[in-house]
Amino acid sequence: MDSKLRPETLCIQAGYTPKNGEPRQIPIVQSTTFKYDTSEDMGKLFDLEAEGYFYSRLANPTCDAVAAKICALEGGTAAMLTGSGQAANFMAVFNIAGCGDHIVASSAIYGGSFNLFSVTMKKMGLETTFIDPDCTEEELNAAFRPNTKAVFGETIANPALTVLDIAKFARAAHAHGVPLIVDNTFATPINCRPFQWGADIVTHSTTKYMDGHASALGGAIVDSGKFDWTAYPDKFPGLCTPDDSYHGVTYTQRFGLGGAFITKCTAQLMRDFGCVQSPQNAFLLNLGLESLPFRMKQHCANAQAVAEFLQGHEKVKWVKFAGLKGDKYYDLAHKYMPNGTCGVISFGLYGGRKAAETFMKHLKLGAIETHVADSHTCCLHPASSTHRQMSDAELDAAGVGADLIRLSCGLENAQDLIEDIAQALENV
């Protein structure tokens, strides 16, 4: 697909081009396995000497077509789908780091990702240093160790809505010979393309805006193809030396910088962990991708209108939304996301935790859900739900205060949303 095509066109055309008489929509290849005429034919697939499919735990035509579309949208060289965004983040890191290694991560990231790094991967022998995303370059550089293998951050943090200075984190990562991995879920490639600012690997929870309808769990990993693994063979032996678990293939030699990372991630991690995205879910994801550019415009417009309303309301103590002039991240967001950020707002009410709980009880359009970033407006009070195990001090340290309300603006009429919020505030 022509890389010069614009996102609206890529969302429709990229990833799959039907031939004469073939289905216009990406076919759902609902099969676990694939038949071959000879053992030699299948053997070439196992040796990575031929392209094709033999078992859907590793790869499936439907999933590959949708991954190719996301790859085109991000401007990468290779991509793969996973069963969830959590799986995507785990596999992106674990593909190059393991027991005895270290990563640097922004402290303002999704709580599930924070737990993944601080608890689960720690049990696997992988240490993480969390750094304030607003740190100086000197503070950031001080976090690196000789065994650091990657840097991780989120374009827009969930739910703190911190905007990552991608270029700053990329400079630090590259100065220390490691890649920058960026979770681009909230911004999507419609509003931000991290590769343009120096990121090397991008991940997504496709469950969110890309799907858009809360219908299908999924994740994605995209490789920029720009990071030179071969410049650091001792740091990344899994990519630069023979893989004894896969017929001695050296991924950088066989697949080049553009394909080594994703091929290894598939041949090793997807093989062993099996956290695949189903063809059915990939099909639903593709339907969501076709309308993504237009939905993102409406999400951002609704969020802007609601944020401005909240900012001027006497019962609202504070509002976080990078589209508001005066917001701490307004300038940074304008740099990386000049056409808008996302549809998510964080705010707090006078009266703290109790006021937040009362407000949410009276919402009619905004549903109380753990989900975020789909066509329906939804609302969450993390302190009483997803983060209820944390003390107020711990909540503050994580950037998720006891009073924080996360509002994800859907595709409804903005004035209807404002009127619903207004009536709920009257009851506080």
DSSP state string for 206-252: TTTTTT-SS----EEEEE-S-S-GGG-TTT-HHHHS-BGGGTTB-HH
Q: What pLDDT, on a 0 to 100 scale, did the predictor assign at position 112?
A: 87
Residues 6+ apart with CB under 8 A from 421: 306, 309, 310, 363, 366, 407
Regarding predicted confidence, which is higher, 111 or 409? 409
Query: Whole-angstrom Cα distance, residue 114 to residue 118?
Result: 6
What are 118-150's pLDDT values in tens digits?
A: 999 999 999 999 999 999 999 999 999 999 999
Cβ proximity of 201 and 236 under 8 Å: no
Q: Which of 287, 312, 341 is at the close of a domain?
A: 287
**Same-domain check for residues 212 and 233:** yes
Q: What pLDDT, on a 0 to 100 scale, did the predictor assign at position 48?
A: 85
Q: Which of 287, 306, 331 is at the close of a domain?
A: 287
Residue 318: its H or E element: strand 316-320
- Residue 402: give its domain's CATH number: 3.90.1150.10
In a domain, 2, yes or no: no
Cβ proximity of 109 and 153 under 8 Å: yes
361-390 exposure pattern, b = at least 16 Cβ within 10 A, e = fewer: eebebbeeeeebbbbbbbbbbbbeebbeeb
Q: Which of 259, 287, 315 is at the close of a domain?
A: 287
**Same-domain check for residues 101 and 215:** yes
Query: Whole-angstrom Cα distance, residue 86 to residue 389?
Result: 20
In a domain, 1, yes or no: no
**Same-domain check for residues 279 and 300:** no
Query: Whole-angstrom Cα distance, residue 150 to residue 201?
Result: 10
Q: What pLDDT, on a 0 to 100 scale, did the predictor assign at position 1?
A: 63
- Other Cβ atoms closer than 10 A to 341: 29
In a domain, 96, yes or no: yes
Residue % of the chain over a pLDDT of 90: 87
**Same-domain check for residues 299 and 256:** no
Burial of residue 97 (CB within 10 Å: 0-12, 13-18, 19+) is buried
Domain membership of residue 359 as a residue range: 293-426
Q: Give the DSSP letter of residue 37.
A: S
Number of domains in the chain: 2
Res. 390 pLDDT band, cuts 50 70 90: low
Instruction: Please say if the pLDDT value at position 47 is more than 90.
Output: no
Give me the sheet containing 180-183, strands edge to edge: 78-82, 219-223, 201-205, 180-183, 148-154, 102-106, 127-131
What are 150-179's pLDDT values in tens digits?
A: 999 999 998 889 999 999 999 999 999 999
**Same-domain check for residues 271 and 311:** no
- Residue 102: give its domain's CATH number: 3.40.640.10
Whole-structure pTM value: 0.96
Place of tokens 């071959």: 36
**Same-domain check for residues 366 and 222:** no
Average pLDDT over residues 23-27: 96
Regarding predicted confidence, which is higher, 248 or 72? 72
Query: Whole-angstrom Cα distance, residue 269 to residue 274?
Result: 7
**Same-domain check for residues 264 and 370:** no
Q: Give the DSSP letter of residue 345.
A: E
**Same-domain check for residues 28 and 174:** yes
Burial of residue 19 (CB within 10 Å: 0-12, 13-18, 19+) is exposed
In a domain, 66, yes or no: yes
**Same-domain check for residues 309 and 211:** no
**Same-domain check for residues 94 and 226:** yes
Task: Supply angle C-alpha 76, 332, 68, rounded to 5.
Answer: 15
Res. 400 pLDDT band, cuts 50 70 90: confident
What are 329-375's pLDDT values in tens digits?
A: 999 999 999 999 999 999 999 999 899 999 999 999 999 998 999 99
Query: Whole-angstrom Cα distance, residue 80 to residue 376?
Result: 28
**Same-domain check for residues 271 and 328:** no
**Same-domain check for residues 228 and 371:** no
Average pLDDT over residues 385-389: 69
Average pLDDT over residues 217-222: 98
Supply φ then ψ for residue 261, to 5 degrees: -60, -50
**Alpha carbons within 13 A on the beta-carbon side of 328:** 12
